[in-house]
Amino acid sequence: MTWLRHAGRHVHHTAANYLRTQLDDLGWTSDTVADRPFGSTKVTLWTKPAVLEDGLVDKVTAGVVAITLGNEPYTELQEMGGPLTTQEYPLFVDVFHDTEETTLALATDVRDIFMGRLPGTQPFLDVINQVDQAAVPGWKMEFEDIERIRPTNAKIALHWQVVKVTATTFFPEERY
């Protein structure tokens, strides 16, 4: 197999779709207030940046969870003479909510989803081709270096947490 064209897009959306499914299962996206943790505001998942240095891209409201793909480093060959290659994709999940307690609970759930700590979650996934929704042959990803932080320079009225995740992909790459 050769390089998957626009691989970052496929990795980003695979992780986002996985996160959306898990947030649905945990009740965060429920239309019924009683089904949501703590009766909180319904969560909406964005696959675009929520915050830039210059300000807000869109109006960020309570319940926004935005997953963004960062700049990835070069691929690394893992086998001497073999085709196994790894590629790290940094993901940033911005979590905004009404209260510090709810924001912390939601961000902790996001962290635990990627760590595979909650029922039905796992730290390994197949990379899904976003064109045909099929698993890409030979492409796997593992969530690593997972960290939850609270930005200290927030200039918004909402409570904000960030979960940083590295999606490390493993795939066979034949180089000519």
Average pLDDT (122-133) is 92
Average pLDDT (53-76) is 78
pLDDT of 104 reads 95
- Per-residue pLDDT band at 71 (split at 50, 70, 90): confident
pLDDT at 80 over 70: no
3-class DSSP assignment, residue 8:
helix
- Per-residue pLDDT band at 108 (split at 50, 70, 90): very high
Q: How many CA atoms lie within 13 A of 84 on its CB side?
A: 7
Give the count of beta carbons closer than 10 Å to the beta carbon of residue 106.
27
Tell me the C-alpha distance between 69 and 102, whole Å: 24
Identify whether the C-beta of residue 67 lies closer than 8 Å to the C-beta of residue 47. yes
What are the residue boundaries of the structural domains of the chain, listed by start?
7-89+99-148
Tokens standing for 122? 């796992």
Q: Which of 52, 93, 45 is nearest to 69 (CA)?
A: 93
Identify whether the C-beta of residue 47 lies closer than 8 Å to the C-beta of residue 18. no
Tell me the C-alpha distance between 53 and 7, whole Å: 26
